[in-house]
Amino acid sequence: MSTLRSPFPNIRSDEHLPDATTESPVNAPSSTAPDPQTAAPVILFDKVEKTYAGRRGQVPVTALSDISLAVPEGAIVGVIGRSGAGKSTLIRLVNGLERPSSGRVVVAGTDVAALSEKALRAERRSIGMIFQHFNLLARRTAYDNVALPLEIAGLARQEIKARVEPLLELVGLADKRERYPAELSGGQKQRVGIARALATRPRVLLSDEATSALDPETTGQILALLRKVNAELKLTVLLITHEMAVIKAVADRVAVIDGGRIVEEGATYDVFAHPRHATTRAFLSDLTGASLPPYVADRLKSEPGPGREALVRIVFTGDHATDPVLSRVSRLLGLDLNIIQAQVDEIAGKPFGVIVISVPGDAATLSAVTNAVERLNLDAEVLGYV
Amino acid sequence: MFDWTFGLLSPAMTDLIIEATKQTLYMVLVSGLLGTLVGLPLGVFLATSRSGELLAAPWLNGVLGLVVNAARSTPFIILVVAIIPFTRLVAGSSIGTNAAIVPLTVAAAPFIARLIEASVREVDQGLVEAARAMGAGPLQIITKVLLPEALPSITLALTLAVVSLLGYSAMVGAVGGGGLGDLGIRFGYQRFMPEVMATVVVVLILLVQGVQTLGDSLARRLDKRHRG
């Protein structure tokens, strides 16, 4: 199994990764991805709606409608959406920074939507949050930034010290404790952010586009750190992002949000293998080889024509991902199949491949090919004709 | 004794200038301190009490904003005269250096409040959100996030306020407040002693320069944003 194109080459070589994840691939669904049916949800959105009152004389703006989503204990769940899709609002409902217009947001058994602001403050200590722009205090050192939530919680100085030092150790910044944020790199700042979010020993970690301001290599390291804290601290993680690569790297489950609604939700592997919604496909296109090389895409027609070849995309999943499907189909039908594009990757620890082939464009041959592929329990999709 | 005026001024005049400098410093420092005592909380409140903010009280915010604007739009010399009854009530007299501190404070407080408001508003809202997410209450957000993060900017704001007070203090001669400005008018202008006027101006320039340098270096030392 070779990864032809991994956006985060470092994710597996990061020295901070725990043993559990270095042995097996980054995602180890068998051990870390609980079945949503059996594991009790730590976060539950129940028919949540969020409407912002419009300015005077204007119609109210609906940010979220009919959101129902369960985040199982110990899982990493990713919510992906374009900017303005409502994902920022969604994540802020969990710690009450935003209040739903209707519906329930249940965190560890408590409906946070029903809590008073004061009761929420106590609840927020069991919910850590990290941010795209880190939101570190510029006039506090790394140590003092991590100490801040503990000062707010009213812990004694000695107690704070006993908690902050292991956390800086955990995120690999023990030697930077006296540095100010301006003296740290983006990745180091986010590590401080993560340590700070963990200081109050939360059950849930909310990640608001935590890697969007980082370069791909640093993104990989930060995602590996999230994996590590998820595994070591049994921390449930809800993250929002606009990058499918982030979902692919860490999420056990994914929800796709578009226009304030969840349009698709499921185990990451299933969603990658069988995306149903157009938005999901669009997000997947540059990750799973669904986008054709330009010289092919430019000539692509939707109708068959004389002398045109059909482009068929075959998705290899699960047990069949490593089967020699092409040669089998080729032999079976006595056809020469031309490979236009191919990619083999690994998602949530399972092999995943996409291949685009061209076959003679007449209806009879085409249906013979797609039937043969589907008999092997694989998905075949006709993309068009060239 | 070393004659720092190079024989330009008589020893008596030198003493007068030293005395006036002390009066100016006294008035500026005390009114600056009192003005900050009132202006700081007022400014923080103005910065955090619009609707949807930490201490949301839009109605009170509006009223205080009006009062501050009214005080700030009154020319200082008119303010000095207009509040004489209040000055007499507070200082026991309407004449003298102590009495002059009252109008100076009344002028400084709203000015400082507006400066502090601007400084606090400059703090990244992301930090407020992060603090809320940690479970901080409004008071904790103000004392642990807004004020510490705004401190370099507040330092510069207070420096500006002190420099402005040095200018204002020249006008309290009108109520017998004394100070360098008063000396410059009475001796330099009314008695045609240009050397006194020049000395007063030079001393004021030195004071402003000193205050500004001190404020700048303090603010730079407090600011941790531009290192490494």
CATH code of the domain containing A269: 3.40.50.300
Query: Tokens 């293998």, residue?
Result: A273
SS (H, E, C) chain B: CCCCCCCCCCHHHHHHHHHHHHHHHHHHHHHHHHHHHHHHHHHHHHHHCCCCCCCCCHHHHHHHHHHHHHHHHCCHHHHHHHCHHHHHHHHCCCCCHHHHHHHHHHHHHHHHHHHHHHHHHCCCHHHHHHHHHCCCCHHHHHHHHHHHHHHHHHHHHHHHHHHHHHHHHHHHHHHCCCCHHHHHHHHHHCCCCHHHHHHHHHHHHHHHHHHHHHHHHHHHHHCCCCCC
A352 compared with A234, residue with greater pLDDT: A234
- pLDDT of B6 > 80? The answer is no
pLDDT value of residue B205: 94
A83-101 burial by CB neighbour count: b if 16+ within 10 A, else e? eebbbbbbbbbbbbbbebb
- Least confident segment among A25-29, A266-270, B39-43, B211-215: A25-29
Query: Tokens 């150790």, residue?
Result: A169
Mean pLDDT of A70-90: 93
CB A257 within 8 A of CB A263: yes
Q: Is the dihedral of CA A339, A341, A345, A347 positive or negative?
A: negative
Q: Which of A241, A263, A284 is the last residue of a domain?
A: A284
Strand order in the sheet with A41-52: A61-72, A41-52, A102-107, A110-111
Residues in chain A closer than 8 A to B149 (CB atoms)? 137-139
Does A153 fall in a domain? no
Q: Are residues A40 and A114 in the same domain?
A: yes
Q: Are residues A220 and A106 in the same domain?
A: yes
Kindly state the tokens that stand for B154.
């507040």
Angle at the Cα of A216 from the Cα atoms of B132 and A74, rounded to 5 degrees: 50
Average pLDDT, chain B: 92
pLDDT value of residue A3: 40
Enter the pTM of the model: 0.84
- How far CA A67 is from CA of A39, A70, A208, in Å, comes to 20, 10, 18
Q: Which of A264, A284, A304 is the last residue of a domain?
A: A284
Amino acid at A16: H
Of B136, B140, B225, the CB nearest to A138: B225
Does A35 fall in a domain? yes
Does A131 fall in a domain? no
Q: Which residues contact A89 (CB under 8 A, 6 or more apart)?
A: A50, A63, A64, A98
Residues in chain A closer than 8 A to B224 (CB atoms)? 138-139, 180-182
Q: Which residues contact A45 (CB under 8 A, 6 or more apart)?
A: A67, A68, A69, A70, A90, A93, A103, A104, A105
Q: Are residues A37 and A111 in the same domain?
A: yes
Does A303 fall in a domain? yes
Size of interface A-B (CB pairs under 8 A): 75
Give the total residue count for chain B: 228
- How far CA A103 is from CA of A53, A69, A110, A119, B196, in Å, comes to 17, 12, 13, 19, 77
Query: What is the three-class DSSP state of A135?
Result: coil
A72 pLDDT band, cuts 50/70/90, is very high
Kindly state the tokens that stand for A233.
């601290």
Mean pLDDT of B146-167: 96
Q: Are residues A269 and A330 in the same domain?
A: no
Q: Are residues A300 and A352 in the same domain?
A: yes
Q: Which residues contact B180 (CB under 8 A, 6 or more apart)?
A: B17, B20, B21, B23, B24, B169, B170, B200, B203, B204
- pLDDT of A97 > 60? The answer is yes
Q: Are residues A221 and A361 in the same domain?
A: no
CB A361 within 8 A of CB A309: yes
How far apart (Å, rounded) are the C-alpha atoms in residues A309 and A78?
Answer: 39
How far apart (Å, rounded) are the C-alpha atoms in residues A193 and A172?
Answer: 12
ipTM of the complex: 0.89
Does A169 fall in a domain? no
A379 compared with A250, residue with greater pLDDT: A250
| Pick from B72, B100, B84, B102: nearest CA to B182 | B100
Q: Are residues A301 and A238 in the same domain?
A: no
Of A139, A149, A206, the CB nearest to B224: A139
Whether A222 and chain B come into contact, CB under 8 Å, resolves to no
Kindly state the tokens that stand for B198.
């020049």
- pLDDT of A59 > 60? The answer is yes
Distance of residue A342 Cα from the nearest chain B Cα, in angstroms: 43
Q: Are residues A378 and A330 in the same domain?
A: yes
Residue A105 dihedral angles phi and psi, to the nearest 5°: -125, 105
Q: Best of B134, B146, B151, B223 to disrupt the A interface by mutation (most A CBs within 10 Å)? A: B134
Q: Do B135 and A182 touch (CB under 8 A)?
A: no
Q: Are residues A271 and A310 in the same domain?
A: no
DSSP state of A252: S
- pLDDT of B209 > 90? The answer is yes
**CATH number of domain containing A373:** 3.30.70.260
Of A97, A120, A139, the CB nearest to B151: A139
Amino acid at B37: L
Q: Which of A284, A309, A330 is the last residue of a domain?
A: A284
pLDDT value of residue B155: 97
Does A8 fall in a domain? no
**pLDDT one-digit tens code per residue, A265-304:** 999 988 988 888 989 988 887 666 556 777 777 788 888 8
Amino acid at B167: G
Which residues are registered as beta bridge partners of A43? A71, A107
Q: Are residues A98 and A214 in the same domain?
A: yes
Count of domains forming chain A: 2
**pLDDT one-digit tens code per residue, A254-269:** 999 999 999 999 999 8
How far apart (Å, rounded) are the C-alpha atoms in residues B129 and A151?
Answer: 17
| Pick from B181, B164, B176: nearest CA to B24 | B181
Which residues are registered as beta bridge partners of B95? none
Does A366 fall in a domain? yes
DSSP state of A323: S
- pLDDT of A169 > 60? The answer is yes
Run of H or E including A330: helix A325-333
CB B145 within 8 A of CB B154: no
Average pLDDT, chain A: 85
CB A74 within 8 A of CB A32: yes
Q: Are residues A352 and A215 in the same domain?
A: no
Distance of residue B156 Cα from the nearest chain A Cα, in angstroms: 16
pLDDT value of residue A322: 67
Q: Are residues A224 and A279 in the same domain?
A: yes
The domains located in chain B, with CATH, are 22-222 (1.10.3720.10)
Give the total residue count for chain A: 386
Whether B224 and chain A come into contact, CB under 8 Å, resolves to yes
pLDDT value of residue A37: 52
How many other C-beta atoms lie within 10 A of the C-beta of residue A169?
13
Q: Range of A368's domain?
A: 294-385
How far apart (Å, rounded) are the C-alpha atoms in residues A262 and A86?
Answer: 10
CB A256 within 8 A of CB A224: no
Of A120, A128, A135, the CB nearest to B129: A135
Does A251 fall in a domain? yes
Q: Of chain A residues 27-46, which have a CB less than 8 A from chain B? A: none
